[in-house]
Homo-oligomer: A and B are copies of this chain.
Amino acid sequence: MTARAAILIVGNEILSGRTQDVNIQFIADRLNLRGIKLAEVRVVRDEEAAVVNAVRALSETYDYVFSTGGIGPTHDDITAECMAKAFGVKLEINPEAKQRLADYYAPKGIGLNEGRLRMARIPDGASLIDNPVSAAPGFKIKNVFVMAGVPKIMQAMFLKIEPSLAHGVPMLSNTVTGALREGDIAIEMENIQKQYPDVEIGSYPISINGDPSLSLVLRSIDEKKLKDATDKILAMVKPFDADAVVTYQRPPV
């Protein structure tokens, strides 16, 4: 049974259009390699009710929830409070988190003032997630991994927790690209999809040198079925574009 995951992005900066999210794609790629299915993403505002309701809903529905954003020292960083509230536990200064902050700031001659100490507040019962970039830890509570929103820090945190995640069969992907339109092959492709329910076939119109083209993406954890379905899709496309090609995306060995 493939584990299923969701991402919860706590971020006014995404919803205001100020910041282009790049965390979804990073986490999605890593989950693919791990054989975990990313089933849903929610982006909510930095508001308590929004965060609490979303994390409860996602935590109940999915095996894993990865949250990003809102764990810094400023007033708009409310994720830790929200997680404590969502799971009905206290939010208190965690001695280990406080020590990590002290060890990080002391050599820089920076004291642990009230603002920075906010980053040591961890919900009771949560375990810390290492932050190799800037010390202030994330944490895991129930099935929710709470990480920073800054991509460089989020990525470093994710790589730390990755070994603890279930290891499924990595998703394999083939892409057939050819100069044709979706409408040319929609029905035939649907029939191929029906023959291969274990292969997910997606159709994405693209433009190549201004001409309409298609990327037909086949994804499966079953190499044999993926190959068979890809052969059929390629044979379907060839009459429209004899130069149609297949590209392969495989996890690194």
Contacts and interface: CB of A to CB of B under 8 A. Distances in A.
A63 interface: no
Contacts of A224: none
Interface in A165-207: 171, 173, 181-187, 189-190, 193, 200-205
B40 A17 contact: no
Contacts of A116: 183, 186
Contacts of A185: 115
Interface stretch (A23-31, A81-89, A237-245): A23-31
Contacts of A42: 40-43
Contacts of A19: 204
B43 A41 contact: yes
Interface string A16-49: 1111111011111101100000111111111000
Interface string A119-162: 10000000000000000000000000000001000000000000
A235 interface: no
Contacts of A21: 21, 24
A: contact size bracket: 35 or more
A41 B24 contact: no
A20 B43 CA distance: 15
A82 B39 CA distance: 17
Contacts of A31: 17
A214 to B, nearest CB: 9
B186 A217 contact: no
Contact of A113 (B113, B187, B201, B203): B187
Contacts of A44: 39-40
A45 B50 contact: no
A31 B114 CA distance: 37
Given A18-B173, A73-B182, A73-B183, 7 more contacts: A14-B28, A15-B38, A72-B205, A75-B201, A75-B203, A76-B203, A115-B182
